[in-house]
Amino acid sequence: MYRKIDFRVRPPYGHYLTMFQTEQAHFDRLADAFDMTVSPSQRTGNLEQFVREMDEAEIELAVVPGRQYLGVSNDEMMTLEQRYPGRFRVFPYIDPTEGETALKELDRYLDQADIRGVSAEPTFQERPYAFDDPVAFPMYEKLQREELPLFISYSAKLLPIVDPDTVRQLGTVLHNFPELKIVVGHGGWPWHLEVMAMAFNSPNIYIVPDMYGLTGPGSESYVKAANTLMKWQMLFGSAYPILNAVDVAHFYEHCGIKESVMPGFFYDNAANLLKLK
């Protein structure tokens, strides 16, 4: 097994507990679809149990992207870092449609906390905005200047209407902010080949296949990319609690990623991005 950084976790803590109360049928459905199990912590929403499952999967650190629509607050998530020092790294959620308020909130976390990135979900919030909406440009510019990665959740599941134009939007952001590091959670599926093309042309695009790299349509492309062109830009993520983190870790250890690439995929690429090395 390999030491790991899990780049996409929503733990049973604070308002994320809502997922454990309302998504049990979804957990069952995906466990069946991917031939996995539902873990004890998925069933109970017990944080201590989840940390034990992290240990079992050799996940040393979990990155926790904020998500505004569930009522999750950045401050409540920051207390998780204090409760389990060194085990969780929170990417606070910043909504650029709030203008100067958003930038001030980002400044507050830069001053008061050791943040290593920011989360945004343009299509999945109360006031959606396009990736390339100029309303977000001040945030992108600040993140680029501060050398902070931007984590976005990006797949067809997060769009009210399946819209391939989102690929162009993301490309426009990359073109206008070429030094901005962008981490694409959900792997950009089903436009993952286009996202990989962006990553081939820019070392600042990182891809987290998470659930879409398992056994669904197109999943084999993530393995090929991890073994070749994207070997420095592919990151492990479990998508917990949607899936069992132990089962996902086991899958990726046996899915065909080369042994020589495993340390980068599971740990080193993320550690470099988070400036842990």
Are 199 and 207 spatial neighbours (Cβ–Cβ below 8 Å)? yes
Sign of CA dihedral 102, 138, 90, 36: positive
* d(C-alpha 156, C-alpha 143), whole Å: 25
Are 204 and 175 spatial neighbours (Cβ–Cβ below 8 Å)? no
CA distances from 174 to 45, 189, 258, 263 (A): 37, 18, 29, 27
- From first to last of the 277 residues of the chain, give the pLDDT tens digit: 799 999 999 999 999 999 999 999 999 999 999 999 999 999 999 999 999 999 999 999 999 998 887 788 999 999 999 999 999 999 999 999 999 999 999 999 999 999 999 999 888 788 889 999 999 999 999 999 999 999 998 887 777 777 888 899 999 999 999 999 999 999 999 999 999 999 999 999 999 999 999 988 899 999 999 999 999 999 999 999 999 999 999 999 999 999 999 999 999 999 999 999 7
pLDDT at residue 205 in the model: 97
Beta bridge partners of 185: 153, 208
pLDDT at residue 154 in the model: 87
Number of residues written out for the chain? 277
All residues at 6 or more sequence positions from 237 whose CB lies less than 8 Å from its CB, including other chains:
6, 7, 8, 9, 63, 185, 208, 209, 210
Question: Domain tally for the chain?
Answer: 1
Look up the CATH number of the domain holding residue 96. Answer: 3.20.20.140
Are 206 and 196 spatial neighbours (Cβ–Cβ below 8 Å)? no
CA distances from 46 to 40, 41, 76, 103, 252 (A): 8, 5, 17, 34, 25
pLDDT at residue 20 in the model: 96
Q: Which domain holds residue 241?
A: 4-273
Sign of CA dihedral 104, 109, 110, 111: positive
